[in-house]
Amino acid sequence: MGEYTFQFISSSIAMTIPLLFVVFMINDSDSRRIILYFCWGVFAGVLAFNLNNYFGYSMDNPQRITLTIAPIVEEICKVLPVLLFIRKKEHSGARTLTTLIVFCAMTSGVGFSIQESMYYFAISSREVGDLIALTIRAATTALMHGMTTAAFGIGVLILHKHILIPMLFGLLALSVSLHALFNLLLQTPLALLAVGMPVMMFFSGLILVRHIESKGNSSTENYK
């Protein structure tokens, strides 16, 4: 087992097992689900790391992995459990989706981002500057991972009454495109725009979610 693969797996075990005990202690089903989605995001970090290495093994250009393979692989890994919200048997009758799907989607992305940040910090030179870089990364790149997955959740929330498979692929393409655009802008003179992009997405998503909640979800019930 490679050093970094071992690091990913060991950190996943260290984070998820204690959190699973917390899940069993909590009575609120929504809170349990959010924690479970975080655990999935941590696992998705391990899965995406190995898939990126597998698909990018024959490529000589690391930039191509960053701009083409990684956004697709990582977004697919992060959004997979979000599809559980639109299972037919859960979607039937009076039951319909609430903003919980957005929170769970974002939490999956956050769990993923923690794994990725730990990886980049582990291979750093461990200087004070690396701690500053990690702090900036946690507020930008890590937030980007959460918000691209949240964008998928928001799309499903808005379209769920008429959701079709092509729409799901379209929402996934949106998440992948935002991810790839962020990675691309970081390598250009517009890097500052890339840094602000996740923050803008966060506050835009927050306003939208609060607007949906303020309407009282009059046509919905709590998704449990």
| pTM for this predicted structure | 0.85
Contact in structure between 41 and 148 (CB atoms under 8 Å)? no
Mean pLDDT for the stretch of residues 128-152: 88
Cα–Cα distance measured from residue 163 to residue 155, given in angstroms and rounded to the nearest whole number: 10
176 is a domain residue: yes
Tens-digit pLDDT profile for residues 3-60: 767 777 888 888 999 999 999 999 999 999 999 999 999 999 989 988 888 877 655 5
Residue 214 is predicted with a pLDDT of: 82
223 is a domain residue: no
25 is a domain residue: yes
221 is a domain residue: no
Residue 89 is predicted with a pLDDT of: 43
Tens-digit pLDDT profile for residues 158-209: 888 777 888 899 999 999 999 999 999 988 898 899 989 999 999 999 999 9
Cα–Cα distance measured from residue 75 to residue 175, given in angstroms and rounded to the nearest whole number: 7
Contact in structure between 163 and 156 (CB atoms under 8 Å)? yes
32 is a domain residue: yes
90 is a domain residue: yes
Contact in structure between 149 and 108 (CB atoms under 8 Å)? yes
220 is a domain residue: no
Contact in structure between 149 and 78 (CB atoms under 8 Å)? yes
222 is a domain residue: no
- Per the structure, how many domains does the chain have? 1
